[in-house]
Structure 1
């Protein structure tokens, strides 16, 4: 059994919502944990104007998962907050979480991680932005996946000669960037809808360019937050989604009613878009829906149906790459297809002691997921949870990937997709399964220990 008094050390990369959940759980479970954060505060993506320079927050950003479904299990969000709170209210909630549980001293601000190198003895050399190199027994990666913008590939013809401005949604911060301009927004995700709505109030004209159809979910259905109707771990997905499809169809009607293309997939077969405001602005003619972009021509954008509009600003809301700049490219590089094979979306199958917290795209909130993942990691480090052998891990990874391919439309945004309630249930059951597995695994599939290598050697010596 792992004894934290023996000095094993754990590194958490990033103090965003997933990172602070991990630090809090590991510290509370008696582990020696350090967290490194490039910014001067916690909150990551939810800090508008974050000094780390990589936050995707903008002035009008609000959560699209209700606060009751987003909060940590032991720290409810204040009741006075709206159901769909603003970015600064969420950032303050995270800061209060750290203060309340008194683990702020575990976080080192203004300090990034520039390199992580696994060693032959099972430990990790972690190089900091200060130049320091610190040895750790385990590393938890919580650097998020909404910070490295992905532009269309290949880029549309004529883009390099376009006389207007082209930017990714990651560079959007407030409505002043839109004021008085002729704006084209490309994309149908949550950011695209928010930016198009902002533009409809501040720009001279707004066109929303759809590469494909999506199901738009209003934030309230029957006077309640949409995700509090039928959201529960005990409801199986084969019941949840057929009911949700009927509910959404009744709430919004066909997307073509608003001038949008009809989706070529069923509800929940692609990551949904949550917005009540976009449907209102489309219905009032404040936003003009158009097909996808075909090319640029001077100061004009030409769409697939031949329509042309003069534009001052084109905003690409085309998603993000999964990136780990602190790993050597040969070690782990998902940039080609945005895929990374992890057992239960958490454990690296080849590298003991390397975990990925919050590296999922849930139909729901990431915070409760990160909290539950962190408990599973703590169990593993304490030796009370045991992984299956390598063959079993490979089978699970392959089965999950094939399930994604069967269910979702082909897209780089769906490589890390999970259903919130199903995945939360799976994490809970996996803790039970892992606790019942034998501690030793046969063969050379995976190290026999569930604890870091340095700690395992200490246990072996003590047992002699």
Structure 2
């Protein structure tokens, strides 16, 4: 008989909500966390080799659309909280729901494989450095995918200081008056470019393809709060409306030295940064095309431009890799789309769940909570996944929320509101009606003080 012992890997935001739902449903759960705090990447760590926020990181989705729906962020938090505030929030969340007692800190999972008919053997290094093995009935993988950096390669060799955004913790005196190149144009690349430009001579930002850059506030409201008001509109109308709005606010990208984007907004993952455009026009950041080659300190771009750089930071993303799985068992690394039903259920393993392994146009956390609810309901026999999982997964892969571009950058992309409705529909099959979150209702924050 199958038991209800659950292993949750990771105590970041997705891991603690997975554990919370297990506890609420009476499941026997243990969480393995390789660090000494909950919060995952949001726990600042000055050591390199550990994926964490850098010193001045702020959230890029608003608190209203980022908080767990059963645990609002306090009214004292700004629209876009800092990593310190968020780490306190996650700590309070875990404490409030009894998750902390279930977490084994400084325990690193190094192996996970099926055992017997309906179990998983989990190999881990405990906080004394001892390797151990425990067997569980179910596994919830909740450690995200920001673990194995993607490094760009070009002809030649670069001899200056080179780092990936994975190891960027902030700008110190060693950056002062240096010539810096940031590779990439996503959220991390723009944040690092702005941060570095406050101390360096000039930051050049190299991008392979045009991007959409959105301000964090639109007409005085957080961008996602403003956008949520139009979620009922047809997809194309939303996209054309957003395109016109960005053009109205920012003007043509050519005025900033940026390539014009010929795709519609939301067909590529948007970049949110309210400082980038100003810093470009201030002359602190200079957009550049893709890199062609490098030689010593000299980097040549595809337009023929050559320039020397002291520091190069590659904000070029991560591989979707889970080192504790054998590649013959689970291998998503080279895939342009991740073949999981509702981004969480594997076709071959009914006792394995991925919680939070998606990239929304919005925030992961509240939807990871929905996924965890669904997983627990299936464990308890209250929800039944599609009988033909192969067909169900294939249908999802062929019917994406937007016309996301090809390649691994959009392998996990979803639209927040569309995906939320999809998960609500699945939960309703199990008799759980989520309803509407009280977005924009100030009463939800009144006297809320569980975060300290």
Q: 3-state SS of the aligned residue for 1:370?
A: helix
C-alpha contact 1:294 1:302 (8 A) present in aligned 2 = yes
C-alpha contact 2:6 2:138 (8 A) present in aligned 1 = yes
CA distance in 2, matches of 1:137, 1:179: 53
Alignment TM-score, normalising by the size of structure 2: 0.90
Which of the pair is proportionally richer in helix? 1
Could you say which residue in structure 2 is the equivalent of 1:105? 101
Number of matched pairs: 426
CA distance in 2, matches of 1:363, 1:383: 32
Q: 3-state SS of the aligned residue for 1:378?
A: helix
Query: How far did 1:232 drift?
Result: 6.2
| Larger CA deviation: 258-267 vs 12-21 | 258-267
Query: How far did 1:290 drift?
Result: 1.3
CA distance in 2, matches of 1:286, 1:197: 8
Alignment TM-score, normalising by the size of structure 1: 0.88
Q: Say if 2:36 is the partner of 1:36.
A: no
Structure 2: gaps (5+ residues): 433-452
Q: 3-state SS of the aligned residue for 1:41?
A: coil
Q: 3-state SS of the aligned residue for 1:407?
A: coil
Which of the pair is proportionally richer in strand? 2
Q: What do the CA deviations read for 1:105-154 (whole angstroms, capped 9, x no partner)?
A: 011100011111112311111111132211111000011111210112xx
Q: 2:209 aligns with which of 209, 212, 215?
A: 212
C-alpha contact 2:386 2:392 (8 A) present in aligned 1 = no
CA distance in 2, matches of 1:187, 1:314: 11
Q: 3-state SS of the aligned residue for 2:37?
A: coil
Q: 3-state SS of the aligned residue for 1:113?
A: strand
> Alignment RMSD, CA only?
2.0
Q: 1:293 aligns with which of 291, 294, 299?
A: 291
Q: How does 1:354-393 map to 2 (within 5 A)?
A: 354-390=352-388, 393=389
C-alpha contact 1:265 1:409 (8 A) present in aligned 2 = no
Structure 1: gaps (5+ residues): 437-464
Could you say which residue in structure 2 is the equivalent of 1:461? none
Could you say which residue in structure 2 is the equivalent of 1:440? none
Q: How does 1:73-84 map to 2 (within 5 A)?
A: 73-84=69-80
Query: How far did 1:419 drift?
Result: 0.5
Q: Say if 2:282 is the partner of 1:273.
A: no
Q: 1:264 aligns with which of 262, 265, 288?
A: 262
CA distance in 1, matches of 2:331, 2:214: 34
C-alpha contact 1:47 1:55 (8 A) present in aligned 2 = no
C-alpha contact 2:337 2:397 (8 A) present in aligned 1 = no
CA distance in 1, matches of 2:253, 2:378: 46
CA distance in 1, matches of 2:48, 2:376: 28
CA 1:361–1:73: 2 relative to 1, 3 Å: same
Q: Say if 2:153 is the partner of 1:150.
A: no
